């Protein structure tokens, strides 16, 4: 089932409109992260990551099973990915930051798939050479997040296809065209590489099991639009003798415009990790907000942080302290905080965040080979 | 367009019934090997191979272009393949024997693809492990044919997929589901690996060009059922900057039963390269023939060699001398040759042929690594 309605669209290749996450939970058949399961997690990690406290990661599949296994002494591995169709923007980093935290807390190995084949196959104008160039640009951002170089394995599908392709066809044999079409909405005009691709995305969850020659549980943190791949693949893992991977689903960082997730296709509403301070400032100062048309009205009636991307950037990325976050919310609601000063505050904190990231990104250039898996 | 009618079927995955090759030429849109083109070939090779003299190789695509190129000094490479779904039978060897002759006459490099992925994806019951086992069994037969170890590169798709997959997706991007379905007749129940597979079969024709960084012409000798793959792919090579490969099409060795090509699925009508003499003799002695019900009628009216598999085995494989072949034909037609003696003659010659092949096959065991391409 693909998710299409009048208000919003969530597929692995398109996210449009204002996403209703409660509706997604029902329609995708995933489970909300309940207090019970968060409490179980808390037992193992101490204080929860702000993305869990704030329900930025909001749903899951089989996380309870994963914790059962963990509590019985079975360590799990992590698997996440990136489709390298352009430069990294802040929205891409949300699941990576969260994944890094889980890696740290559970001392988990991480398989990080760069789906250069996917982006080549799905983006009409992209050559494989361009996608490969973006792949290595993106890998700098991934490394800059701070993943453990001894436990993190990054690979491009095309560079690791001697390992991946023979495993992918094991999945492919169990996926009929009929199923793939129902889930992804393929049409007559889709190319045959696109139709096959989901098999490649299934594989990394079993790489550690194949390597160890025994079943190793796997947790996949992902933005919720990638869930359909695993809705298909999860039925197949047991047929091949593997555990179904558990999944934890994240929300989308909104763009700086009105509604929808951050998207590279509208660069002005989108902050890239390589943006210069002046561009970051300009984009933020031009952002849509939840504020009133005039200063006076703002003072009198307050703004609406819930529809405000500026607020969301504090919430998703910049302000990790819940009390301070609450304060921003209250100040906005009661008219104490004006949009101009709020934007300036975000812009300066964002510039600082990015300059720091860019330094780490520069250092990452010498570390690439420590992370890469190639055949 | 797939080829289905009431009398016979020819697709890459199924050949059934008595094939009308003239109809295939029209329906596949291929060209018969004319006397003109055979004369051009003769200029370069001297005496033509018996498979050309007898029109066992009977049709082509762009062979005239290939000869133009060759006459201008551009050497071509050869590409052929094998789908390793079981042990090699005599039918499989026909195009290999012919390919070996071309290699010798034109001093051509040969890329030999073993499509273990295809057979795994298309044969419900075959595991990848079994297909791989057959692959290496089949490779012994291929080497036994006598290919030049310095100019012949044999590879399994799964073992060479780091090279093949990134090139395959370049083809896949240009093949819509709509085209693949029209040509191969895919249904809702086909798996997504089957749908993708034709992209993998397109690649070997460009391997030498990729390696040399310049366009190298390619000739593909194949049994005519494999033509649909290239009907699709040939449109794409120029889009990727490569020459369209030329193709030369072979007929099917019939089974020992009544009608249809030799097929492993009916083992009693099929001679395998590893068959023991007593099995070869039994299978041939039990073969269907074009003879009359009684010795007396045979003497009086003669037999019909054209519908006789015993005759065909002389024609395709055992009797390379055209005069002797003519004599067998005449003796059969005029009633001098009785089926029993004809079968015994074939059986003894076949046993000799196979014992010789089996010796070479045994020697091939030490040579495998000289031939294999792996990533």
Nearest to A120 among B173, B189, B195 (CB): B173
B36/A53 Cα distance (integer angstroms): 80
The pLDDT confidence band at residue A15, using thresholds 50, 70 and 90, is confident
Q: Identify the pLDDT of residue A4.
A: 42
Do B199 and A192 lie within an 8 Å CB cutoff?
Answer: yes
- Burial (Cβ within 10 Å: 0-12, 13-18, ≥19) of residue A247: buried
DSSP B204: H
Residue A363's pLDDT is what? Answer: 98
- List the one residue out of A145, A119, A142, A113 whose CA is nearest residue A132: A119
Contact status, residue A319 vs residue A328, Cβ threshold 8 Å:
yes
Per-residue pLDDT tens for A288-302?
999 999 999 999 999
Q: List, for residues A215-225, the tens digit of each pLDDT value.
A: 999 999 999 99
Q: Rounded to two decimals, what is the model's pTM?
A: 0.94
Specify which residues A371 forms β-bridges with: none
**Rounded-to-integer distance, Cα B58 and Cα B22, Å:** 10
CB nearest A162 (choices: B161, B181, B199): B161
Query: What mean pLDDT is predicted for residues A23-52?
Result: 96
Is the predicted pLDDT of residue B115 greater than 90, yes or no? yes
Please give the mean pLDDT across all residues of chain B.
95
**Residue B121 is nearest to which of A158, A159, A173, comparing CB atoms?**
A173
The answer to whether B161 contacts A165, with C-beta atoms less than 8 Å apart, is: yes
Interface test with B, best of A169, A239, A375 (most B CBs within 10 A): A169
In this prediction, residue B12 carries a pLDDT of: 80
Q: Please give the average per-residue pLDDT across A135-145, as a whole number.
A: 98
Close Cβ partners of B338 (under 8 Å, ≥ 6 residues apart): B291, B295, B298, B299
CB contact under 8 A, B158 and A177: no
Fold of B267-363: Tyrosyl-Transfer RNA Synthetase (1.10.240)
Does A174 contact B191 at a Cβ distance shorter than 8 Å? yes
What are the C-alpha distances in Å from B100 to residues A278, B57, B76, B145? 67, 14, 14, 7
Among A155, A192, A193, which would you mutate to test the B interface (most chain B Cβ atoms within 10 Å of its Cβ)? A192
pLDDT at A127 > cutoff 90: yes
Question: Chain B window 148-187: which residues touch A at a Cβ cutoff of 8 Å?
Answer: 157-162, 164-166, 168-170, 172-178, 180-181, 186-187
What is the model's pLDDT at position A260? Answer: 66
Q: Determine the Cα–Cα distance for residues B58 and B318; give it in Å rounded to an integer.
A: 19
Quick check: A243 pLDDT over 70? yes
Q: Across the interface, do A158 and B166 touch by the CB < 8 Å criterion?
A: yes
Confidence of residue B361 (pLDDT cuts 50, 70, 90): very high
What's the confidence (pLDDT) of residue A230? 97
- What is the Cα B85 distance to its own chain's centre? 14
> Which residues of B fall within a CB distance of 8 Å from A177?
177, 186-192, 195
Helix (H, G, I), strand (E, B) or coil at B109: coil
pLDDT of residue A9: 77
The answer, yes or no, to whether residue A259 has pLDDT greater than 90, is: no
CB B48 within 8 A of CB B173: no
Contact A192 B172 (CB under 8 A): yes
What distance in Å separates residue B169's CA from the closest CA in chain A? 6
Name the CA dihedral angle for A109, A114, A115, A120, rounded to a multiple of 10 degrees: -170
The pLDDT value recorded for residue A7 is 67
How buried is residue A294: exposed, middle or buried, by Cβ count under 10 Å (0-12/13-18/19+)?
exposed
Task: Say whether B176 and A195 touch across the interface (CB within 8 A).
Answer: no
For B213-222, what is each residue's pLDDT tens digit? 999 999 999 9
Minimal C-alpha gap between B259 and chain A (Å):
32
Q: Which residue of A has its CA nearest to B195?
A: A192
Q: Residue B105: is its pLDDT beyond 60?
A: yes
Please tell me the predicted confidence (pLDDT) of residue B4.
42
Q: What per-residue confidence (pLDDT) applies to B3? A: 43
Q: What is the mean pLDDT of residues A336-347?
A: 97
- Separation between Cα atoms, residue A131 and residue A137, nearest integer Å: 10
> Domain extents for chain B?
3-252, 267-363
Instruction: Write down the pLDDT at residue B334.
Output: 95
Please tell me the distance from the alpha carbon of residue A64 to that of residue A101, in angstroms, as a whole number: 19
Over the stretch B293-308, which tens digit does the pLDDT of each residue have? 999 999 999 999 999 9
Show the CA angle centred on residue B216, arms to residues A127 and B40, nearest 5°.
Answer: 140
Q: Do A189 and B195 touch (CB under 8 A)?
A: no
CATH topology of domain A3-252: Rossmann fold (3.40.50)
In chain B, residues with a C-beta closer than 8 Å to the C-beta of A228 are none
| Separation of alpha carbons A363 and A370, rounded Å | 13
Judged by CB atoms closer than 8 Å, whether chains meet at A169 and B121 is answered as: yes
pLDDT (average), residues B63-89: 97
pLDDT value, residue B9: 77
Q: What is the mean pLDDT of residues A266-277?
A: 93
- Nearest CB among A159, A188, A199 relative to B177 is that of A188
Chain A: residue whose CA lies nearest to B159: A162
**Which residues, in sequence order, are bridge partners of residue B246?**
B219
CB contact under 8 A, A177 and B160: no
Distance from CA of A165 to the nearest CA of B (A): 7
Calpha distance A339→A290 (Å, rounded): 8
What is the distance in angstroms between the Cα of B118 and the nearest Cα belonging to chain A?
A: 9
A266 dihedral zone (left: phi>0; alpha: psi -120 to 50; beta): beta
Q: Are A246 and A220 in contact (CB under 8 A)?
A: yes
What does DSSP say about strands B8-11 and B14-17: parallel, antiparallel, or unpaired?
antiparallel
Average pLDDT, chain A: 95
**Whether the predicted pLDDT of B16 surpasses 90:** no
Counting residues of chain B whose pLDDT is more than 90, the rounded percentage is: 90
């Amino acid at each position: 089932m693909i998710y299409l309605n009048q208000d919003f669209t969530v597929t692995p290749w398109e996210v449009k409109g204002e996403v209703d996450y409660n509706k997604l939970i029902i329609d995708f058949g995933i489970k909300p992260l309940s207090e019970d399961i968060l409490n179980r997690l808390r037992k193992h990690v101490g204080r929860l990551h702000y993305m869990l406290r704030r329900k930025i990661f909001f749903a899951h599949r089989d996380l309870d099973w994963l914790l059962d296994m963990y509590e019985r002494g079975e360590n799990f591995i992590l698997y996440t990915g990136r489709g390298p169709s352009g430069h990294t923007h802040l929205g891409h980093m949300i699941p990576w930051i969260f994944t890094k935290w889980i890696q740290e807390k559970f001392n988990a190995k991480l398989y990080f798939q760069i789906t250069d084949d996917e982006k080549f196959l799905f983006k009409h104008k992209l050559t494989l050479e361009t996608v490969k160039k973006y792949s290595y640009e993106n890998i700098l951002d991934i490394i800059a997040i701070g993943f453990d170089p001894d436990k993190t394995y990054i690979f491009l599908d095309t560079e690791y296809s001697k390992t991946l392709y023979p495993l992918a066809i094991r999945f492919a044999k169990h996926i009929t065209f009929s199923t793939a079409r129902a889930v992804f909405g393929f049409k007559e005009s889709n190319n045959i590489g696109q139709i096959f691709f989901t098999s490649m995305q299934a594989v990394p969850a079993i790489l550690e099991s194949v390597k160890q020659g025994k079943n190793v549980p796997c947790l996949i943190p992902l933005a919720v639009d990638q869930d359909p791949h695993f809705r298909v693949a999860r039925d197949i893992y047991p047929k091949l003798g593997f555990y179904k991977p558990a999944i934890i689903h994240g929300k989308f960082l909104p763009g700086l415009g009105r509604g929808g997730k951050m998207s590279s296709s509208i660069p002005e509403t989108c902050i890239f990790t390589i943006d210069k301070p002046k561009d970051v400032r300009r984009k933020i100062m031009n952002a849509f907000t939840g504020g009133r048309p005039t200063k006076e009205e703002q003072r009198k009636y307050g703004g609406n942080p819930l529809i405000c991307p500026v607020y969301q950037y504090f919430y998703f990325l910049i302000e990790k302290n819940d009390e301070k976050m609450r304060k921003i919310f209250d100040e906005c609601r009661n008219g104490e905080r004006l949009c101009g000063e709020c934007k300036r505050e975000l812009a300066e904190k964002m510039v600082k965040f990015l300059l720091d990231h860019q330094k780490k990104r520069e250092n990452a250039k010498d570390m690439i080979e420590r992370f890469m898996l190639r055949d």
